Structure 1
């Protein structure tokens, strides 16, 4: 490209720029020559945050009264403070006033839409229209000494109730420990060390709070929250909490007052179910910044608090109001009403939940209680547990370490997991065998003593059972005496293909349709086909590779009260009765199993006879599952199961309870669970 061509291109670019500048100048001059257009241009500058441009449109008298700096500060603080955007100006038709423009303003703000009519004085000055400014141009009611304030209206988080309206998670109070620096003793170091020891804090952490810039000698400095003293409780934890607060109040300058907070009245008894809330993290806030959260929000971290977060979390409201110099409210400019979180009412019976926890709190256990006719889940308990309130007031490092290093794993939710069911699976296998015609319930499979193997191909492996009995080795007796050998033989008669197909039809390998995530049950590892005869035989009495979720097991047992259909468990009272799997078992087979399970309780030889009640008919099945590293292992532990239900009860008062307890070896096996279950059943009925 030669030099002449380059000059031509440069000249052309300059010409375009000058032409555009001329057009822009002409537009501005046109705007300034029209009262309506200058008002629109003035208001458009707000959106662009061009406050200096707005100031240039004022008349000389206005500029003499207010400096550019004061003008910019006033407008910027108000418009940006309320989040003004999408400002639209509509000139009112039929203007009657001379030197004034009447218009309507509509704008978006942090409190929603704001609408108001207004009027601006516009007159010519040196051939151009200029605006006479006063504070009323921002809002008609705004005076020069008035202030605009944005006030948040905090929404309440929804409350979680049990079936009777008792609070499981809701608004309450905690003990707020504070310190007034000016009232501390001369031996400040000793006081801080004592206080830190009681609060499980480092003295330096308390010092840091006291050294904040806003702190003054007579101001109360928040230090830590503690649970409220429960005078009705004699638990070690509650007594220690009371002692700590008593000792704290002996330290000069320490105060303990009430502070509103999320609380969990049942504490450990519902922790795995309800979960807890904590302050929102930076990552959580980033992903929810458009959902009404801020840096002060709390958010559900586990359990139902997390599951129902969207429903429980409310939307804060906001008011934009004008206040006069005396602090009195003059006018409300805009308002977005707060929207409290949704209250949720569960099917949980808190008394039953608490009783189960108290009964098994020293064990590693889990319990599921549901109404087999309606599917309402009345209790979900995992022991040992933790206290949800500890997370709300602030979990200390010491307490967190204790929970995580506890060999009994209190943070572990056992009812969500899968376990070896042992003999608790036998009614399911029996229903499958009878329903498919593979098993004659009256057929005698023969007595084989306390150990048996099909033939020498099994090598040294034998199926063992605990009880010998007279009479035929039929289904009824096999359930009453919990005969492992009978069900091993029954599984071989049913066959691997039929057994696995029917177990899959009964929900094995499927996601359990429930609010909380539950681990799906399995009949073999990775749901692989059962090809080994020994594995098939062991599966018949709930061993082998069979693992079952307690809630799934409860749903399968519900089929014995529902003509073979498995109830769909649910947690909210608004949910309607529905089946998870209709006709999971043959109806006649299900009725037969129910009758046999009644005899497991009523027959003096039945393994569940210890739970018999004098006035209430019960049906059920025990189970003792061996947990060992190999078939030859003799040092393993045992799980104890008891599944029990009320067959003659109506939909309103029916109950089905499934409980599993770990480490029952040498403690009575499943009999340990049977006796404890009886106490609970007696109180319930």
Structure 2
């Protein structure tokens, strides 16, 4: 019995003393782990009684957490050097241990690192006896130990601008007007005043009330309601007649090209939660602007820049101790190869018509214009005074919000020179060999009722030049069948159809078909004259034509001025002799063929027309998209591919007249 009692006393004694054997190294390791994981609530429980009596949780742990959040602390790393065995026994006996540690972190002001020393004390009785950390503000930053306040300043970067090849702005930072309302000064007719303001700004009264009722608003404070561009001077003056309205000049984003460049530049909007799936949330405040579409979105990170910041401790004597400092990095400008004058002329030529166009320098590969019509005004989207502007655009049957620059379309007969090049290269097409073609329709018995149709009959055999001049579908269908799908498909791949297009401004890849293959003879025949399921962007079609102006080599297009020009995307597609054959035919298309409307006495033009009929069956009468791809015959210094949608409903001119007029104006 005595033996059992003795063993029980020994066990109780061991339990009571077990925490005495927890080393300061082990205890501080737990402290550091919680610190690294930012489990601040656990840290305070490990403070010494003296530290707890001196500093509340709010003054220590919660302050630490708030500071870390304000300073955007990331990559926090706390490490320490454990007490060596030789010194550990002495520390255990004294009940006091000193452990050096190091803190490293990244902040809005850049990296911060420091060394400090922690004092741990053995406290408590029985099961509660343990090592506790004698915390002081130096654990946050050493210079805080003897007092001071952490402060920081930030400098917002200037957003990079988007410029054309001649440094003309397409998106720039400029003065705009910020319209504010002072609630106290609206007067007795406040409701009517808000209605008048809403009407002039194109917003709802509810949206104004929502801003005036924000929690921070004081009756005598000016509350920002909207922003308008400087060209809205009339609206500005009318607003200033309303009691309680205040207008200040602030900096904003402005798009001088308006509708003509909207699909390229895009615009800005207030950052949203879903943006952080793509961009770093730590780099944005709640009311920051971010690219919403176009180049503003695609190159958001380059355009935005990096804010500058200084983190410092301000002492009681106003002494400043700088902890970290990062210079502001303004956003980078984007300089495009585009020419804003050409861009605007090409866009304006559409009038009320829908479509897309691309212009390229056939000697260098520089993209000179990319147009999508109809369009929208990014200035009105951001600062508009038209109520429901975006809703009206969304309901517009011509789909002005669709970016046709990046979209693919059936190229129609504008594709025939590519088929000609493929056939010449593989030896199936012989330029002077004529085909006997009778009537306006042709087909094989195995096709059933399906027929290939041409627009006019021929007098005698049809050769390559005649087929291009009169745009003979039957000739090209016959030649494609003679080639077979393998040779024809190989030729399409040689022209980059079916692979990513190498333009820095991303566009949809042109395709042979939905499956990527030519499945049957009918599809092969239709594909030869740009129907079937062939789909191309305007810029790819324009680029393909550079083959005929560069001795059979297709240029690699460029979009930014810092890209190397004059490089080839595809080499050796046809020979110089074959190039000459196609050039002669393209000139004859204008002088004697389907593009006679482009023939004039002011500038010689070469090119190829195309009509793509949009229908599901041969019996249908579908809408037609008309193409014209052309260049000045002599100078060969610009190549334009233009498409007009639903050309039967065109309210202005055909693409042939639009392009020829533009080329004539350029030569004046």
TM-score by length of 1: 0.79
Which residue matches 2:306?
315
Q: CA deviation at 1:401?
A: 1.7
Give the one of 553, 561, 565 matched to 2:549: 561
Instruction: Give 2:123's aligned residue.
Output: none
Report the counterpart of residue 111 of structure 2 in structure 1.
113
Secondary structure of the 1:408 match is coil
- Alpha-carbon deviations, 1:344-389, whole Å to 9, x = none? 2211111111111111141111001112232211111100011223
**Partner of residue 382, structure 2:** 392
Alignment match, 2:293:
302
Match of 2:238 in 1: 247
Aligned to 1:34: none
Contact 1:321/1:329 (8 A) holds in 2: no
| CA distance in 1: counterparts of 2:540 and 2:136, whole angstroms | 73
Q: How much is the aligned-residue C-alpha RMSD, in angstroms?
A: 4.4
Is the CA contact (8 Å cut-off) linking 1:171 and 1:261 kept in structure 2?
yes
Q: Is the 8 A contact 2:263 2:372 kept in 1?
A: yes
Quote the Cα distance in structure 2 between the aligned partners of 1:67 and 1:544.
79
Deviation at 1:565, TM superposition (A): 2.2
Residue by residue over 1:396-417, the C-alpha shift from the partner in whole angstroms, topping out at 9 and shown as x without a partner, is 8722221111000001112322
1:196 correspondence with 2:184: no
Q: Structure 1: how far apart are the matches of 2:166 and 2:139?
A: 55
What residue is the counterpart of 2:640 in the other structure? 657
CA contact (8 A) 1:348 1:379 kept: yes
Shift of the alpha carbon at 1:52? 8.5
Change in CA separation of 1:307 and 1:667 when aligned onto 2, cut-off 3 Å: closer
Other-structure match for 1:682: 664
Alignment partners' CA distance in 1, 2:474 and 2:80: 88
Partner residue of 1:575 out of 554, 563, 567 = 563
- Please, which of 475, 478, 485 is the counterpart of residue 474 of structure 2? 485
Aligned equivalents of 1:336, 1:15: Cα separation in 2:
58
> Does 2:422 align with 1:432?
yes
- Report the Cα distance in structure 1 between the residues aligned to 2:403 and 2:240, rounded to whole angstroms: 38
CA distance in 1, matches of 2:409, 2:141: 68
Identify which of 359, 365, 378 aligns with 1:369.
359
**By how many angstroms is 1:542 displaced?**
2.2
Is residue 2:598 matched to residue 1:611? yes
In 1, the alpha carbon distance for the partners of 2:234 and 2:419 equals 55
Q: Is the 8 A contact 1:382 1:414 kept in 2?
A: yes
Q: How does 1:18-33 map to 2 (within 5 A)?
A: 18-24=16-22, 27=24
Q: Give the 3 Å change call, closer, same or farther, for CA 193–397 of structure 1 in structure 2.
A: closer
**Structure-1 separation of matches of 2:349 and 2:188:** 51
Equivalent residue for 2:130? none
Q: Which segments of 5 or more consecutive residues in structure 2 lack a partner in the other structure?
A: 82-97, 120-132
Aligned equivalent of 2:179: 177
DSSP 3-state at the match of 1:21: helix
TM-score, normalised by the number of residues in structure 2: 0.81
Distance 2:490 2:643 in 1: 26
How far apart are residue 286 of structure 1 and its match? 5.9
Change (3 A) 1:366 1:13: farther
Label 1:471 to 1:78 Cα distance change in 2 as closer, same or farther (>3 A). closer
| Secondary structure in structure 1 of the residue aligned to 2:105 | strand
Cα deviations by residue, 1:25-64 (Å, 9 ceiling, x for unpaired) = x859x99xxxxxxxx9xx99x99685797785679xxx8x
2:455 counterpart SS class: coil
Give the corresponding residue for 1:633.
620
Aligned length: 630
SS at match of 1:430: helix
Preserved CA contact (<8 Å) 1:55 1:71: no
Cα distance, 1:485–1:86 mapped onto 2, change above 3 Å: closer
Answer yes or no: is 1:542 the counterpart of 2:530.
Answer: yes
| Cα distance per residue 1:589-620 (max 9 Å; x no partner) | 2332122212323x2x2333433465654321
1:621 is displaced (CA, Å) by: 0.7
The residue aligned with 2:630 is 644
- Helix, strand or coil: the match of 1:151? strand
Asked whether the 8 Å contact 2:48–2:134 carries over to 1, the reply is: no
Tell which deviates more after alignment, 175-184 or 299-308: 299-308
Unpaired segments ≥5 residues, structure 1: 1-5, 32-39, 91-100, 122-129, 231-240
Q: Deviation of residue 87 (structure 1)? A: 6.0
How far apart, CA to CA, are the structure 2 residues paired with 1:194 and 1:287? 40
Q: Distance in 1 between matches of 2:135 and 2:615?
A: 90
